[in-house]
Structure formats: C-alpha cells, structure tokens
Structure 1
C-alpha cells in the first residue's frame, strides 16, 4: 500500500467483509479509493440508506459479469439457507416485489403476519418460520424490521445480477402471499435505492486479459467457503498473474494464503487483522470464543496430545465432539452452547461432520495467517494447562513482546 489513504481504504473494505456493512468514513477520499480497489477485485461499493431515516452504510455488491462462478468454487460453495428459511425468504421477496418489471430493492414494506399466513397455508413448521423471520433472515441482512413492518434487507441490494434475473424469470412461480394492505408508511420509512460508488476514472487504463483472469480468481477465492485446490485456480501457476492477484487482494485488505494441504485461500494480513481486532470489528463475543476454544481442545488439542492428531491442519473430521460433551463444561449452559454453535457455524468457524450434533473445526480457520495460526496453538496451550512450564514461557514471551512494542512514554 502506497500511503496511509491506501491502507485506510483497504481497512475499510476489510471491515465490510468482516461485518457485512460499515458506516461511511468522513474522509471521502478513503471511500473513493476503496471503490477503486473494490472495482479491481470485481466488486462494487454501494451506499445504502435503510428504513426510517437510518444512517447510511457501505456494502459490497456484484457488478454485471463479476458474480462467483459455481464451477470455480467446486465443493466450496457458500452454505445455503435451511429449507424453511428459503421458503420464508421467497415469500418475503414476493410480498416486497409484486411487480418484477421494477428493481428488486428497496421493494415495498410487508407484515410478518402475511408471511406467517402464507407459510401456514403451505404447511411449514410455525417455529421454524418464526426463527427465520426473527433470527435467520435478519442475521443474513435479507430482511430488516422497521416498527411493525418488514423490508428487504441490504443484502438484497447486493444480490448478483444473475440471481435477480433468475428471480425475475421465476417470479410467477414464487409462492403466493395473502393480500393485505399494510399500514401506510411515510416515504422516509422506506429504504433508499443503492447508490453505486464505483470509481469515477475519466480515462481508466485498458483492462488486460491478465486483469480479467486475476479478478475472476480473486472472486472465486473470496467467495469460496474454504480453500480451493490448484486445479480450480490454475491462474496461480503463472507468476505474473499470481503477482497481479496478490496486488488486487492487497488493495482490499486481504492476502493470498497457501494451506498445508497445497490448496489456496485468502485471509487478513496481520496488520489489518490487528487493526480490526483493536477496533472490535469482526471479533467473536466471549461465549462464542469460549465454545470455539472447547471445540478446538476436544477435536485438535487433546487428540494431538494423545498422538492421534499429528498434522498441522485445523480442518479435521477424525475427532468430532458432540454438544453433550461440550456441555460438560459447567461454566456454560447448554442453551448458551447451542446458541454459540449456531453463530460459529454461520461464520465458518465450526462445521458439522458425520451427522447432526458432531462438530469439527470450520473452514474459516484455514484463512488464518501463519502467525495467527501459531498464536491460536499457543492459546490452546494456555487454555488447556495454564500453569504448565510451556504456558508460563508463552505468557512471559508475550509480555516481553508487548513491552517492546509500546510507544515510549505510553502507559502500560
């Protein structure tokens, strides 16, 4: 990154990836630079204003022709919504978007009662419908609530063009929603259409074939649930194209990672990760961190201590742990553990293996940099045997390193 503005732009894009959306910075130069970096990576920076006069937010969308290609993602497609949540989402789209000839977003407001009635007519489980409306879809930013009404969420504004086109073609096949005139709303209560903050270069440099290949490879790496094998990212075998890919990723606050198994993925550079963590962006709450630690202790640390886990990989399905085993930790209730596991699964930190209730480390852990992975191993040592000699050595080394990096005169 050439200067502080470039780093702040990269950090802005990294924060959007970590949380889905962020407030626009006061410095419009940073936003403009971030829009340029996003365009190089095959994304577009959108400014959205939600219902009821909420503050604007920035999200990343997909310009025409840049959406992920399922063929490149192989078996690493992002996880889909559960069946009932998918049905509820389809009904929300139909209620908010009765006329497919107009843009999907922002759509019309609708009531939860209409969706619940439609789901009841289709025989859907009421509890799962309620969970989808109150938890699943809002967590994915597919819908938002404003007072008594629901609206399409900001994630609907960033759907790729092929997805919207497919919804438009199949609009007549979407389930019907019982008619009901929603309570009148003020114009300011409805979300505003997205504003594309794409680069405004008056004379952009002509795009080369290498740029196109690099951008599509970045799209695949960033969209994939886990690392991609070399046969699905053949462009990385060419040094020139690989260098261009690394340059594009650097502009978005990401870097290229080669996993121990020989696959490729992306992650946050340590400097970016440190800045995000310091700001509390994208970090796990205490309960989720505790449950993740328990999963790693049971599935990796203990098997490794017993000589049954000898490789450096986090992704292992050989030693799954059940929720019942995790619940033996009396410091957390079963309800807290189950809720934390849902969050960890949604973030890719934990996966299910061998059937419902068998948990293993998730694909997202393979996006850790070598330094972050080493620190996590040390954290497991500290959690498993905090009074041991190795734990004391780790604690002393970290304390010394922290003291060495303090600014002269800074309070400890």
Structure 2
C-alpha cells in the first residue's frame, strides 16, 4: 500500500506513530480481508476516532466502511461511485456468471425470505442451492461448472457445509461488501423476481410507490 501513502499523508500526518499504524492496519484489513473483520480485533476499528480516519481514507478511493452484523466491518463501493460505474456500463461479471449467481441468491436467500424462513437483511443462509436446482436452467453443464468456479474464486458464492447430498452453494463473503442501500435494492429485486405474488413482494412494491394491481370478480 506504500504507493497510496502520498494520497493518505494529509490524513495521517498529524497522528502519532501508533495511531497511524492502527489506522493503516484497519484500512488494509477491511479492504483486503476475504471476510468481514471483527471490530474487537483492531484498535483502528474499535476506536471511533481512528475508525473515522479509516473512513476518510476509504472515501478518497471511492470506498466506504460497511458494518456487518453489528460486530464486524468491511469496505465496499460508495453508493454514488457504484451508481456512476453502473451508468458507465461497468460490469465485471459475464452474462453466464450473473445468471448462475442470481440463481444461487434466489434459491438461498430470496425464496426463503419471501416464505418468512429467513429474516433480516443478511446474506447468511441455511438454505443452500443444490446442483439439481442449477440444472433446471438453459446453461450448459460445462458453462455452469466454470461459472461456479469463477464465482467461488471471487468470493461471491461458497460451498455449504453440508455435502451429504452433493455440492451445494450459499452466498459468499464478498456480498457483505454491499452497502445497506445496495443490499436492499438487490434483495428487493430478487424477491420480486422469485415470488412476485408474495406478501413481502407486495410490501416492496408499496414501499417503492408501485401500484398493486387488483382483480375484481365483477363483469368486465
């Protein structure tokens, strides 16, 4: 990270050596760790003043702190930066990879949430997506296999702990990097696609100001 020090020097120059080291350690952890980092592990996250410095550093590179489960931290794209990248057509995943990822998220998160089995807005799920469920798509077996490998390597999906019925998949740790607003938008879209007639889908449409269509039993 030495090449970035010039960018961060104005933020770090007034800190003591110890505080600077703690801020840099926290910055590196939330930026590069595969999983969210426990707040108790790093002074740069525990201390509100030092954490504010970490947030300022992240802002300089278009990132922001993301609180996970109330006890952990990671870093993700700032909402405005993410919107700008999308508007410019930035899309790091191929069509096939996106399709497979969406299937995993629908089966592991959206459907259980629409049925009231999964609550909150976490990506943690005890309902893994099986290979059989992925076979119902029009994606070829080889395309699916390669997509699953790429998504696992990117941390967007992971193998579930139960392999008794063959490999199955749940959301990966990189999804924890989504900000609350981005997470809510994606989860709403998944629920609307997976269970459009569910009560939770109706609540989403109402919250977004989308009229709910009704059917009457009278004459047309």
Unpaired segments of 5 or more residues in structure 2?
211-220
Question: Which of 304, 328, 331 is the equivalent residue of 2:113?
Answer: 304
Aligned partner of 2:185 in structure 1 is 375
Taking the aligned partners of 1:394 and 1:381, their CA distance within structure 2 comes to: 14
Structure 1 match to 2:130: 322
Q: TM-score, normalised by structure 2?
A: 0.79
- CA deviations on 1:217-275 (whole Å, 9 max, x unpaired) are 10111111011112222322222211111111111111111112421111111011112
In structure 1, the partner of 2:216 is none
**How far did 1:358 drift?**
1.8
Q: In the TM superposition, what is the alpha-carbon distance from 1:350 to its structure 2 partner?
A: 0.3
1:357 paired residue number: 167
What is the alpha-carbon distance in structure 2 between the residues aligned to residue 293 and residue 309 of structure 1?
Answer: 17
Shift of 1:379: 1.1
User: In structure 2, how many angstroms separate the alpha carbons of the residues matched to 1:302 and 1:382?
Assistant: 10
* Corresponding residue number in structure 1 for 2:122: 313
Correspondence 1:18-33 to 2 at 5 A: none
Partner of 1:44: 3
Alpha-carbon distance, 1:343 to partner: 1.6
8 A contact 2:114–2:191 mirrored in 1: no
Q: Is the contact made by 1:214 and 1:244 (CA closer than 8 Å) also made in structure 2? A: yes
Aligned-pair CA distance for 1:334: 2.0
Relative to structure 1, the CA distance from residue 397 to residue 44 in structure 2 (aligned partners, 3 Å threshold; closer, same or farther) is farther
* Structure richer in helix, relative to its length: 2
| 1:229 has 2:38 as partner | yes
The answer for the alignment partner of 1:338 in structure 2 is 145
Quote the Cα distance in structure 2 between the aligned partners of 1:396 and 1:335: 39
Aligned to 2:205: 393
**Contact 1:303–1:309 (8 Å) recurs in 2:** yes
Moved more, 279-288 or 240-249: 279-288
| Aligned residue pairs, count | 201
Aligned partner of 1:218 in structure 2 is: 27
1:283 paired to 2:92: yes
Q: Equivalent residue of 1:44, what SS?
A: helix
Looking at structure 2, the residues matched to 283 and 387 of structure 1 have their Cα atoms a distance apart, in angstroms, of 32
Following TM superposition, where does structure 1 have runs of at least 4 consecutive aligned residues deviating by more than 6 angstroms?
none
Structure 2 Cα separation of the partners of residues 284 and 367 of structure 1: 16
Matched, 1:262 2:65: no
Larger radius of gyration: 1
For residues 271 and 283 of structure 1, the distance between their equivalents in structure 2, rounded to whole angstroms, comes to 18
Cα distance in 1 for residues equivalent to 2:194 and 2:146: 23
Secondary structure in structure 2 of the residue aligned to 1:313: coil
Cα shift at 1:216: 1.3
Q: Partners in 2 of 1:283 and 1:394 — Cα distance? A: 32
The whole-number CA distance in structure 2 between the counterparts of 1:303 and 1:392 is 16
Structure 1 residue corresponding to 2:55, chosen from 246, 253, 260: 246
> Does the C-alpha gap of structure 1 residues 270 and 208 become closer, same or farther in structure 2, counting only changes over 3 Å?
same
How large is the RMSD of aligned CA atoms in angstroms?
Answer: 2.8
